[in-house]
Structure 1
Amino acid sequence: AILTYKKRWEIETAFRAMKSSGFNIEDTHMRDMDRIARLVAMVCMALVWAYLVGEHKDINIKPIRILKHGRKEKSLVKYGLEEISTILLRPTYTPKFDVFKFLSCRTFVRLNVFE
């Protein structure tokens, strides 16, 4: 039961990141299933990209602050998404690492994203 709940929690966390906690996918108000499927596929790739950037920044650059209750202040996806958006929206910002290297096909193959 614990393993099943853990998998369910991972799925819920991914949906939260796709919706209210990051990509706001529900704000599109799309109805065409083909378009929705393509959008979800693109958002899934963006979600993996944001996660990898957030994980790298958390481990190698600046750890996410731990709150009093012991959990992180923000998710790895949110942390990565903030870094990516800062790089794209602030041309004078100098990042400490190349976020675009995480878009390499080798990265996604290593993670079995294409399987």
Structure 2
Amino acid sequence: MSDEPTNLQTFAQYRLRFQVKESFLDLKSNGFNLEASRLRDKFALSQLCGVIALTMLFLVLQGMNVLLSGKHRRVDAHWNRGMSYLKLGWNWIRLAITQQWKIQVYPFLSSLPDPQPAIASKRQQNDAFEREFIVLSRFPAS
């Protein structure tokens, strides 16, 4: 619910909002379990957040490397990419450690559009192709 008028920009803003929620999920229960640190000191908490930020960057770069090298199916059960770059990188590092593989990191983040956006299900893929919005300026007569 919102007091703002609904238009295509509203949907774009909500899409960005859900991406932020996924990042918070990675920081909390789905990944780094930041709340379990129980740190109260501002300096210690900022240091931990810095380490987590660098780790997240490393994992995203690793995930991009896994995808671009065509190896994502080893850690992602989806036919197309169904995981975030961070999750791909996280799962790849775990696998690489257990298999004693050499870890290579993609050297930079690209500003180009995502070559293969994450789509976790066929329904989600179909919805992306069928999405159409009509903005009404008034309610239709019933």
TM-score bracket, normalised by the shorter chain, equals 0.5 to 0.7
Give the TM-score normalised by the residue count of structure 2. 0.56
Aligned to 2:100: 93
Give the RMSD, CA atoms, in angstroms. Answer: 2.7
**Identical counterparts, % of pairs:** 21
Which sections of structure 1, spanning at least 5 residues, go unmatched?
none
Distance 1:55 1:17 in 2: 17
Aligned to 2:24: 15
Q: Which runs of 4+ in 1 moved over 2 A?
A: 82-87
Q: Contact 2:62 / 2:104 at 8 angstroms: preserved in 1?
A: no
Three-state SS of the structure 1 residue aligned to 2:29 is coil
Structure with the bigger percentage of helix: 1
Q: Contact 1:21 / 1:78 at 8 angstroms: preserved in 2?
A: no
Aligned residues: 99
Please list the CA deviations of residues 8-55 of structure 1 after superposition, one character each: whole Å capped at 9, or x if unmatched: 112111111111112111111111112112211221121121112112
Q: 2:34 aligns with which of 25, 32, 51?
A: 25
Distance 1:65 1:76 in 2: 14
Give the TM-score normalised by the residue count of structure 1. 0.67
Which sections of structure 2, spanning at least 5 residues, go unmatched?
1-9, 112-142
Largest Rg, 1 or 2: 2
